[in-house]
Structure 1
Amino acid sequence: MDDFYKDGDDPTLPRRNGQIDWESPASWDAENAVEVIAQLVRDGKADVPVYAINEDRRVATRRFDLADAPLFVAEGIFAAEIVEECRRRDLLAGAYALRRPRSATFLRRLSRDLAEQRKGPRVLLSRGVALLRAEPAVLRRQTGLGAEAARGREVLRRVAHLLAGHPPAR
């Protein structure tokens, strides 16, 4: 879902302290994300954007083909923003917000962002610390939007139940 950010020159992007607020759900194109998910459910394939975070823009599209997979996972920090709409359209098998130690999330995010050279190291470090502090509020927001807080193993167990043709076990 990270490829559905708006381009950096989009005039609707939210700002905070004179800078684009990339942590705001308003920096993300939820409507397009839902349309692509609907197309994947309906047709099994869709063209999805390719977003270059270091350039703050979409640079291409790529064909995503489910190849007869019975389920797919749409994940990202703003995925909970579309839970209600996906439920309304009957596109959703489950919605989960990962609950794990904040330090683990911080280290994984920082390692990924540095490896992908998403931004400069100082920006990534300060952004990472800010997100570390905000993580409890993010989890509360995601569960408030309809995602269920769960540890990774629990999510995998529920997905396995779905793949076996059973409703999610609680």
Structure 2
Amino acid sequence: MSSSRRARVILLSGPSGSGKSSLAARTGLPVLALDDFYKDGDDPSLPALAGGGTDWDSPASWNSAAAVAAVAALCAEGAADLPVYDIAASAATGVARLDLGGAPVFVAEGIFAAEIVAGCRELGLLADALCLRGRPSTTARRRLLRDLREGRKSVGFLIRRGWHLMRAERAIVARQSALGCHPCAGPEAAARITACTEPADAAVPVEA
């Protein structure tokens, strides 16, 4: 993909369980799963919880530099080899290739997407940055059902984490908004994503 035709990224953030993956899939656009850039469980730089264990909800558990590099490669080349991360195993287990197929815009979604807004903007890669928000109780229920279905962690861990995240949800949204993401519900986010796919002059009437 030439520099004159390089793609741009829509960063989709929000609390865990807010519906990012589902919304990204419904757009029909290529999707970069940013959760695949978690650090491996034996990485010595992982942040620890006060009571023991790893704080997987801290941005320090995530490789932001690798995520920005992947976004930049996709925007410039139209394809990139990406890690495949197994959350239950706390480790990258393989590599997969994502090809944009010539799409001028793609979605990069994950709970830490807001952490790379500034980096993507500085590189001229950003089409939009959004933060999904909703009722904390709804998010918590959706998150727990998903995590239990996928066997992401032990049941006890998921319940403790879910309670903590539900209480912290408004602060999480506020932080992601401060980092440059527009807070909105699903319908508005979908509309903004659609607008990014339209030609720049699509809304400009043609003069007779």
TM-score (norm 2): 0.78
Q: Secondary structure at the match of 1:126?
A: helix
Letter in 1 for 2:45: T
Work out whether 1:28 is the aligned partner of 2:62.
yes
The question of 1:12 aligning with 2:38 is answered no
| 1:42 aligns to 2:76 (yes or no) | yes
Shift of 1:67: 1.0
Q: Distance in 2 between matches of 1:20 and 1:159?
A: 34
Please report how far the alpha carbon of residue 149 of structure 1 lies from its aligned counterpart in structure 2 after TM superposition.
0.6
Higher Rg:
2
Q: Which residue of 2 aligns with 1:77?
A: 111
Output the TM-score relative to the length of structure 1: 0.94
Asked if 1:119 corresponds to 2:168, the answer is no
Which residue identity does 2:154 align to in structure 1?
G
Residue type of the partner of 2:75? V
State percent identity of aligned pairs. Answer: 49
Runs of 4+ in 1 over 4 A off after TM superposition: none
Match of 1:131 among 161, 165, 174: 165
Shift of 1:127: 0.9
Question: Which residue type is aligned with residue 7 of structure 1?
Answer: D
Structure 2: runs of 5+ lacking an equivalent: 1-33, 204-208
- Identify the structure with the greater helix proportion: 1
How many aligned positions are there? Answer: 168
Deviations 1:50-70 (A, max 9, x none): 111111111111011111122
Q: Partner letter of residue 21 of structure 1?
A: D
Larger RCO, structures 1/2 (Cα 8 Å, 6+ apart): 2
Secondary structure of the residue aligned to 2:159 is: helix
Looking at structure 2, the residues matched to 123 and 149 of structure 1 have their Cα atoms a distance apart, in angstroms, of: 28
Structure 1 residue 105 corresponds to structure 2 residue 105: no
CA-to-partner distance for each residue in 1:73-100, whole Å, 9 max, x for gaps?
1111100000000000011100011111
- The answer for unaligned runs of 5 or more in structure 1 is none
